[in-house]
């Protein structure tokens, strides 16, 4: 296993970088969103409020709103630049009435306790400086019976070619971090290229 090298800066600030990222992400969003949506449906989530942490340009949030018409989705991100594009994407998708975006930190979320039915996050965990704080915040903002589903890169030899994979965590590191957090009833699923953290019950 190669050594983890955290990214020096994980927040989009340049408009052109955001546009390039958005164009690339749109090519793969259907594949990315499918597993999230299927899992939410399996859990019986057909109404309520979903939080997408590290929403980026809002594509996962928008796909949730399209697939589950009775939910409202809030996307959270630190970058004001990226959220401007997310709002444009929601408008162009006719989802702006059911998808909204807030600027904020995954380690200190700007929400009351016990408000979300589901918290999701895609390819954000490796950008978080203190993941345990994100897990604790997830526990705090979730309703007592709420669910969570995070997916991120898995560190491997492919990190030789990608700084994002080099910055990712190993499954055992994630289990250790979860064990230090207040988040409960979690399972870590280990795949070769990525890993998932989701509610076990």
Q: Does 79 or 5 have the greater pLDDT score? A: 79
* Residue 106: half-sphere exposure toward Cβ, Cα within 13 Å: 28
**pLDDT tens per residue across span 96-129:** 999 999 999 999 999 999 999 999 999 999 999 9
What are the domain boundaries of the chain?
15-199
- pLDDT tens figures, 73-90: 999 999 999 999 999 999
pLDDT tens digits, residue range 20-72? Answer: 989 999 998 989 999 999 999 999 999 999 999 999 999 999 999 999 999 99
**Alpha-carbon distance 80 to 12, whole Å?**
8
Segment 133-152, tens digit of pLDDT: 999 999 999 999 999 999 99
In a 3-state reduction of DSSP, which class is residue 22? helix
Does domain 15-199 fall under CATH 3.40.50.150? My reply is yes
Encoding tokens for residue 173? 């590191």
- Eight-class DSSP state of 172: H
């Amino acid at each position: 296993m190669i050594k983890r090298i955290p990214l020096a800066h994980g927040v989009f600030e340049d408009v052109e970088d955001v546009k390039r990222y958005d164009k690339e992400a749109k090519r793969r969003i259907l594949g990315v969103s499918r597993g999230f949506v299927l899992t939410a449906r399996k859990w019986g989530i057909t109404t309520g409020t979903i939080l997408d942490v590290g929403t980026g340009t809002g594509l996962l949030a928008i796909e949730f709103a399209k697939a589950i018409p009775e939910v409202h989705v809030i996307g959270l991100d630190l970058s004001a630049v990226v959220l401007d594009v997310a709002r444009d994407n929601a408008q162009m998708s006719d989802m702006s009435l059911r998808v909204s975006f807030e600027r904020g930190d995954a380690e200190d979320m700007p929400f009351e306790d016990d408000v979300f039915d589901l918290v999701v996050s895609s390819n954000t965990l490796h950008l978080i400086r203190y993941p345990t704080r994100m897990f604790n915040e997830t526990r705090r903002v979730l309703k007592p019976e709420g669910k969570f589903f995070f997916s991120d890169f898995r560190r491997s030899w492919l990190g030789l070619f990608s700084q994002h994979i080099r910055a990712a965590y190993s499954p055992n590191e994630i289990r250790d971090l979860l064990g230090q957090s207040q988040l409960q009833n979690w399972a870590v699923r280990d795949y070769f290229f990525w890993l998932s953290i989701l509610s076990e019950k």
